[in-house]
Amino acid sequence: MTGEGLMVKRKVPFELYDINILASKDEDLKRISSDMSLGLSLDEMKVIKGYFEKEGRNPTDIELQALGQAWSEHCCYKSSKSILRQFVFGIDREDVLSRGDAGVMVFDDKHGYALRAESHNHPSAIEPYGGAATGVGGILRDVVCMGAQPIGLADPLCFGPIDTAADLPPGVKHPRYLLGGAISGIRDYGNRCGIPTVTGGLFFDERYIGNCLVNVGCFGIVKREELLRNFAGGPGEVMILIGGRTGRDGIHGVNFASQDLTATSDDDSRGAVQLGDPITKEPVIHACLKVNEQKLITGMKDLGGGGLSCVVGEMALAGGCGADVDMEKVPLKEEGLAPWEIWVSESQERMMCTCKPENVEKILEIFEMWDVSATPIAKTTDSERMRLFWKGEKVFEMDLEFLTGGPLYDRPYTLPKVSTKKDEVFPDLPGNNEVILSLLSDLNIASREWAIRQYDHEVRGATAIRPMVGKLNMTGPGDAAILMPVRGSMKGLAVTTGCNPWFTALDPYKGGMSSMDEACRNIVAVGARPNAITDCLNFGNPEKPERLGEFREAVRGIGDFAKGLGIPIPSGNVSLYNEGSGGVSVLPTPMIVGCGLIDDTRKAVTADLKKEGSTIFLVGKTLDEMGGSLLFRKYGGSGGDVPGVDIERLKETMDKLLEAMDKKLVLSCHDCSDGGLAVSMAEMCISGDIGAEIDIQAEGPDMKRALYSESNSRWLVEVDEKNAASFKDIMKGYAVKIGRTGGNALSIPKAGVSISVKDMRKAWSDPIWKIMGGSNQ
């Protein structure tokens, strides 16, 4: 604890300290911040000192702790906000219904759909099972507090190579252990809550060894008349704390999330990892939706980072009022918590709602029915100040504007040097048969079935297109999943994930664009129109100019794409300080979770080849863009142009392809991404259990680029021979016939390729099973 003289215990029958910052010099201020784990800089401490000088008194320990939470990167986005504001905020469209804890878009005349993604990186690096599970819990709450029923989960994950034999830095756990734990955590939590996990991604790279990324996304459906706000309706309302009890778990989670991981994080930070309880969550969802349906509440918000300290202030301030809190009423897991611990605890499964006093009783009755604890703990006031009382003693009184305002920084950044064709070194390659098989068995391509089948992806009985598609028990990778959230309606919500961290590392602007392109082309591949995205931006330490430069450029790329295509981003999340011990930053990872709409799900398309003798088209243009490609990573190439996006061209291609799908001209469709055209074609053969003969007009190195370049905005499309001409008519110059389906091998005579579908399936299916244990046979 802090040195003598600075902390004065108040003479009350509980633990409360007044912190003498008015008399503190710079050194003392720094020490207070570090001793109390506030995570605040000296400048920030000075601003706080100035505030309390005006108030004419010293702060209590609770007040300082609350500021530490509210002013953390995680809560107030102090390093990222100015960049986000410049490039991605405010991309508007009339069908954005809300930009609350989750974004909400128009689904149909009566319904909206909610979307939101979030990172749970640091806790998962320490304790992957609990970290990932509570990540799912948090994202479900974000959707529920819009009044929406969660309908699907997304789980993009990034780990070190799970077969790495490298000596791991001290304190770093083996990626195989981390992956196993994270998948189990998502499985147990998602499955038990009864929400299908329908999309995601697994990304493996050395640079995730020291700091894995666990991102989770959630989608929901809400009747538009039941759409909920995340703040109080005004003064004179009651705040009811719902769900789990408050304990010491998760104390200082946000500060932990806003620092790099170090070798000792393990021992220091276990307290910052929370334990989840899906069987509390499930009835919490039921009960919360019920009280909203009966119009008993005015607002709802989840207790995430910062716990009570953030949620009470934000709900009051946004509702134009203040709050008086009776802290003794907060139900506790254990006795003996100091008031400040209660105030900042991040215990799971808690939500807050606001209501008119006359509705309190009815609300409590509904929660009682579900055995969910619900306790009125605060009242909103007309003061714009928050006051906390403990056993009659006022322990906290602050201006809400000041508390939740937080600092904003324009930190210095340097623009990264980007990879170009000029410095391209094209690697030596073995024969194309060997290349294709080895790309198929690369960890970043190989079948994710080991993970996917552990998730219930069809609970709720509304999953029309699954993450894996094709013949029963012979499935291959799909592009996007489709949910049919409104019973009796054919309208579908397509959901997917897009990200290319390798492109982003070599050219952050194009990487941001490419990640958006991937999400959009996945959605188009199933026959849906991209509608909105949410993102989870995982980057390194923003206090390092080159890291912040990567962030800025990637965000600019995302923004340009979104504006160009008219895609709103109604919610988003930023996770900075993703660096392992030794300061190795993760690959810059702009994870995009995309949503699309399809009016008639019966017209949806999947990636598996459907029959022999149909025509295969390549839609979109292959360019000499080898930078960051899987081929280069695998065979030691370097440099090269990173794939860019021609928005106008994408728009036209997309419109035409969707028109052809709407006319039922498309039998199957798959996007070209990692591994290029060759890998995409192989995947379509695997899931359809049908071969294909491909004829590409190219020679020498041009042939290799045609096969393995990862140019954006491309799809492979199977069209019934009798419809080939009509398809061509619609697509104009945007589609080129490249072959036909049939036989039991993929053959590309001009490239010397001939591989049986069986061999491709084996190469693709086995690798992750082999490492993680078990088998699909």
Partner 1 sequence: MEDHGGIQPMRPEDVKVCVLTIEGTNCEDEMADAFRAVGAQAEKVHLKQLIGKTPPETRKDLEDYDILALPGGFSAGDYIRAGAILAARIRSSIGKEVERFVDDGRPVLGVCNGFQILVELGLLPAFDETMSKTATAALYTNDSGRFECRPTVLRNDNRGKCIFTSSIEKGRTLVMPIAHAEGKLLSLDPNFVQRLEDNDQIVFRYVKEDGSKAEYPWNPNGTESDIAGICNPAGNVMGMMPHPERVITRLTHSDWTRNCRSMEGDGLPIFRSVVQKIR
Which residues in 40-99 contact partner 1 (CB under 8 A)?
none
Is 612 a residue that touches partner 1 (CB under 8 A)?
A: no
CB of 254 to partner 1, least distance (A): 29
* Alpha-carbon distance values, 34 to 3, 31, 237, 388, 615 (Å): 12, 5, 37, 24, 66
CB of 688 to partner 1, least distance (A): 8
Catalytic one of 74, 111, 252, 457: 74
For partner 1, the binding residue among 185, 243, 253, 278 (CB under 8 A) is 278
DSSP state letter for 86: H
Which span sits near partner 1 by CB under 8 A: 107-115, 363-371, 409-417, 419-427? Answer: 363-371
**120 catalytic per annotation:** yes
Contacts of 10 (CB under 8 A, 6+ apart): 16, 17, 18, 60, 393
Give least dist CB 187 to partner 1, A.
6
> Who contacts 620 (Cβ-Cβ below 8 Å, separation ≥6)?
653, 672, 711, 712, 713, 714, 715, 734
First to last CA, the chain: 58
402/83 Cα distance (integer angstroms): 22
Minimal distance in Å, beta carbon 637 to partner 1?
37
Q: Which CB sits closer to partner 1, 149 or 500?
A: 149
- Measured from the CB atom, the residue of 736 and 772 that comes closer to partner 1 is 772
* Residue 111 annotated to the active site: no
Binding partner 1 by CB under 8 A: which of 45, 67, 193, 686? Answer: 193
Question: CA–CA separation, 163 vs 773, rounded Å?
Answer: 12
CA distances, 98 to each of 61, 116, 563, 569, 685 (Å): 36, 12, 18, 11, 42
CB of 657 to partner 1, least distance (A): 17
Which of 149/653 has CB closer to partner 1? Answer: 149
- 621 contacts partner 1 (rule: CB under 8 A): no
Among 161, 283, 320, 564, binds partner 1 (CB under 8 A): 283
- Closest approach of partner 1 to the CB of residue 607, in Å: 9
Helix (H) or strand (E) holding 22: none
Catalytic residue among 120, 252, 457, 670: 120
- Pick the binder of partner 1 from 14, 89, 370, 635 (CB under 8 A): 370
Tell the smallest beta-carbon distance from residue 6 to partner 1 (Å).
46
Q: Is 176 in the site for partner 1 (CB under 8 A)?
A: no
Instruction: Decide if residue 470 touches partner 1 (CB under 8 A).
Output: yes
Residue 473 within binding range of partner 1, rule CB under 8 A: yes
CB 643 within 8 A of CB 503: yes
| Distance in angstroms (rounded) separating the CA atoms of residues 76 and 309 | 13
Contact flags string 668-707 toward partner 1, x per CB under 8 A: x-------------------x-------------------
Identify the residue whose tokens are 């728009």. 651
* Min CB(730)–partner 1 separation in Å: 20
Angle at the Cα of 623 from the Cα atoms of 565 and 641, rounded to 5 degrees? 90
Of the residues 187, 521, 634, 704, which one makes contact with partner 1 according to CB under 8 A: 187
Nearer to partner 1 (CB atom), residue 44 or residue 456 = 456
Question: Of 503, 521, 500, which Cα lies nearest the Cα of 647?
Answer: 521
361: contact with partner 1 by CB under 8 A: no
Cα separations in angstroms, 38 against 61, 76, 187, 766: 10, 14, 34, 47
Pairing of strands 393-399, 385-390: antiparallel
Q: Are 484 and 395 in contact (CB under 8 A)?
A: no
Q: Could you give the maximum distance between any two Cα atoms of the chain, in Å? A: 88
What secondary structure letter does DSSP report for 676?
A: H
Please count the residues of this chain forming the interface with partner 1, following the rule CB under 8 A.
Answer: 50
Site residues, partner 1 (CB under 8 A): 187, 191-194, 278-280, 282-283, 365, 369-371, 452-466, 469-473, 475, 484, 487, 490, 601-602, 604-606, 608, 610, 668, 688, 774, 776-777
Which residues are annotated as catalytic?
A: 74, 120
